[in-house]
Chains A and B, each alone.
Chain A
Amino acid sequence: VFGPDRDLLEVVANHTRFFAHESCGFCTPCRVGTRLQRDIVSKFQRGEGTSDDLAQLRALTQLMKGTSHCGLGQTAGNTVVDTLKDFAEMYRLRISGA
């Protein structure tokens, strides 16, 4: 639970940094996926996201969930998936030029 004064995207970004750091590097989807996820979310933080990035973020999190070797990679995208679903506006507002 986060208070109304918190920037939810910063919370999400923090999670993605955490998972990019924690990935052990054994399997492809988690090793590369956690890094790409971190980079894309940080683009939105800078207000430089695109609608293509949104689609890529969805595909990426689905790939990590479906194909990662262990639970870390399979759940590393949960925060992103949930906020894309329940707080889609947060991302849309930070699409470049929005």
Chain B
Amino acid sequence: MRNTIDIDGQVVPFGDGQTIMQAAEAAGIYIPHLCYDPSVSPAGNCRLCVVSLGGRQVASCTTQAAEGQQIVSQSPDLLDTRRQLTRMLFIEGNHFCPSCEKSGSCRLQAMAYELKVLNFEYPQLWPDREMDASHPDVLLDRDRCILCGLCVRASHELDGKAVFELGGRGVSTRLMVNSPTGRLAESEIARNDKAVAICPVGALLPKRRAFAVPIGQRKYDLRTIAGRAKAH
């Protein structure tokens, strides 16, 4: 059979130009990821989707599938790697699940449950990050931002705007708002923008919808981030 790759011993077909991630998703194979979303171009910055290919680790969301690739996605080492990366995302921000509106539909939280991340291991960095509540309909809480850039890409590619950009560098990188004041209020953001909906965490939220879906009935209360039904 032509145009197939091997993921953890499973033969997976792929189409022209498809990435390893796209081929895996089409075959119903879950590779953990946070900065990838099929509706926008891939970036490869969270690194959760690293897989082992020819003795190297590559991001499956940005690596093209090619005939005969032997890929390992599920291994103790890669599980450990993904746990460490998830811990890093927690400790570099200020994440308080119990008081967060997004709890239960947050992909970072769901990833921690999926990978069974039970502690942070690293010391918390407790960064100083600015909240932007200036907009009547959209809240930006940078404490919860994981710098995945999904809103940046969605604003450009889906909303036809350019509301967001990642600015600064290193661990001081912050989500910046493109407006004369740097605040959301003066930007082109709108409540129903894809850039808001695509946020995997509670950094960008439409206002006044916080508990429209009660805790316990939310997305990852019902299914794991890998798509398995949860036993209750």
Partner of B88, one of A20, A25, A28, A39: A28
Q: A21-B170, A36-B122 are in contact. Are A27 and B88 (CB under 8 A)?
A: no
Nearest-CB distance from A28 to chain B (Å)? 5
Nearest B residue to A36, CB-CB: B122
Nearest A residue to B48, CB-CB: A28
Report B195-219 residues with CB < 8 Å from chain A CB: none
Q: In the complex, are the beta carbons of B57 and A66 less than 8 A apart?
A: yes
A24 within 8 A of B: yes
Please report the C-alpha to C-alpha distance between residue A31 and residue B147 in the assembled complex, in whole angstroms.
10
Residues of A within 8 A of B89 (CB): 28, 32
Nearest-CB distance from A60 to chain B (Å)? 8
Q: In the complex, are the beta carbons of A35 and B84 less than 8 A apart?
A: no
Q: In the complex, are the beta carbons of B123 and A39 less than 8 A apart?
A: yes
The majority secondary structure among interface residues of chain A is helix
Q: In the complex, are the beta carbons of B46 and A28 less than 8 A apart?
A: yes
Q: In the complex, are the beta carbons of B173 and A31 less than 8 A apart?
A: yes
Q: In the complex, are the beta carbons of A25 and B170 less than 8 A apart?
A: yes
Nearest-CB distance from B82 to chain A (Å)? 9
B98 within 8 A of A: no
B168 within 8 A of A: yes
B169 within 8 A of A: yes
Q: In the complex, are the beta carbons of A28 and B47 less than 8 A apart?
A: yes
B50 within 8 A of A: yes
Nearest A residue to B93, CB-CB: A32
A45 within 8 A of B: no
Q: In the complex, are the beta carbons of A59 and B44 less than 8 A apart?
A: no
Nearest A residue to B84, CB-CB: A63
A33 within 8 A of B: yes
Nearest A residue to B56, CB-CB: A66
Please report the C-alpha to C-alpha distance between residue A56 and residue B119 in the assembled complex, in whole angstroms.
14
Residues of A within 8 A of B45 (CB): 26-28, 69
Name, among B92, B166, B170, B173, the residue most crowded by chain A CB atoms within 10 Å (CB to CB): B170
A83 within 8 A of B: no
- Could you give 27 example pairs across A and B, Cβ below 8 Å? A20-B171, A23-B169, A24-B169, A25-B168, A25-B170, A25-B172, A27-B44, A28-B88, A29-B47, A31-B170, A31-B173, A32-B88, A32-B92, A32-B171, A34-B171, A35-B125, A35-B171, A36-B88, A39-B123, A56-B121, A56-B122, A63-B81, A63-B85, A67-B47, A67-B50, A67-B81, A67-B85
| Interface residues, chain A, with chain B CB atoms under 8 Å away | 20-29, 31-36, 39, 56, 59-60, 63, 66-69
| Interface residues, chain B, with chain A CB atoms under 8 Å away | 44-48, 50, 57, 59, 81, 84-85, 88-89, 91-92, 121-123, 125, 147, 166, 168-173
